[in-house]
Amino acid sequence: METDNNVETASELFKAQAHIYKHAFGYANSMALKCAIQLGVPYIIHNHKKPITLPELVSALKLPSSKLIAFHRLMRLLVHSQFFATNELGYVLTTSSRLLLKSGIPNLSPCIRVMVDPLVITPWQLLGEWFHSNNEKATAFETAHGVSMWEFCAQNPRFDRIFNEGMASESQMMRLAVKDCREVFEGLKSLVDVGGGTGIIAKTILEAFPHLKCTVLDLPHVIANMPQSENLSYVGGDMFQSIPTADAILFKHVMHDWSDEDCVKMLKRSREAIKDRDNGRKGKVLIIDMVLDRNEEELEMTEVKLIFDVMMMVLLTGRERTEKEWEKLFLEAGFMRYKITPVFGIRSLIEVFP
């Protein structure tokens, strides 16, 4: 027999039921968003140049007239989720849907396509099975697909392409704030972007700081045939083995993919790579990643970070980290101090010094 003195009222229990349903059917929001992107809804509303009515939207999307009521129901959910808004004249874009425009910079549509790809969603279905597994190294992704996510990317060109496109689109968000980081790049002459893919981040930094010499380090097949310039070069290699020498070593959304042990290896390679600058001081490591448990942030920001943390566990061997967990990695790798600046939304800029 229950001995709990907290006896909920019927009203509280029904509210709890709604809370459970909201999260149990959370996939409905992501699938509705995916559908809107597939149909091109943000693009059509944007091109209309003014609020668009439901019949106009259905016509512009070339949907059968028989789908008008069903499409209204989809849009009603998306409006409630604040991806679109309505006024007396029709549907309009919100800040969120403007980030989904194909012509926009940044454009997060490719990133969303990766997040809702069936190959990414399937491992979540096996999470309970994974918890019962005795294999400490295998991820839920490996339980679902037989190989690690990085191996899967190497073996599946389609997924590898959409994954890299998604990460590149997400990297474009840096353009919104990189110019605010002037003091971070002050005095630097060279920078290596580790795991920099096709060089979106390096190009963004060069737009704001054209005096820099940037090198992108990534796996040979990722940077193959990439065009080089006077200030931007590409090097194929393994970040766990060696990192080219520079004033600063940059890791953007890299370390959260990896275990603590692997992160310490990366940091040690970075410490070896940062050279003495003209003023006699060593260079530094720049990390753009999430920092958990920052009390000043909004609840929605915290929820997104916690979701990302579990996603890193499902797909890879990494995690999101608290400031104390970051500090432990830095000290273990031989660094003496660090500075955290929350400048990139859910992510912070961490400067790490020898």
Strand 284-289 and strand 347-353: the pairing is antiparallel
Rama region for 347: left / alpha / beta (φ>0; ψ in -120 to 50; rest): beta
Which of the 8 DSSP states describes residue 226?
Answer: P
Cis peptide leading into residue 42 (ω within 30°): no
CB-based contacts of 143: which residues, under 8 Å, 6+ apart? 123, 126, 129, 130, 133
Q: Strand locations in the chain, DSSP E?
A: 84-87, 90-93, 190-194, 213-218, 232-236, 248-252, 284-289, 291-292, 321-322, 337-344, 347-353
Q: Give residue for tokens 């200030």.
A: 231
| Two structure tokens written together for 330 | 């830095």
Give the residue among 314, 337, 325 at the shortest CA–CA distance from 290. Answer: 325
Q: Is 256 an annotated catalytic residue? A: yes
Q: Is 279 helix (H, G, I), strand (E, B) or coil?
A: coil
Task: Write out the catalytic residue numbers.
Answer: 256
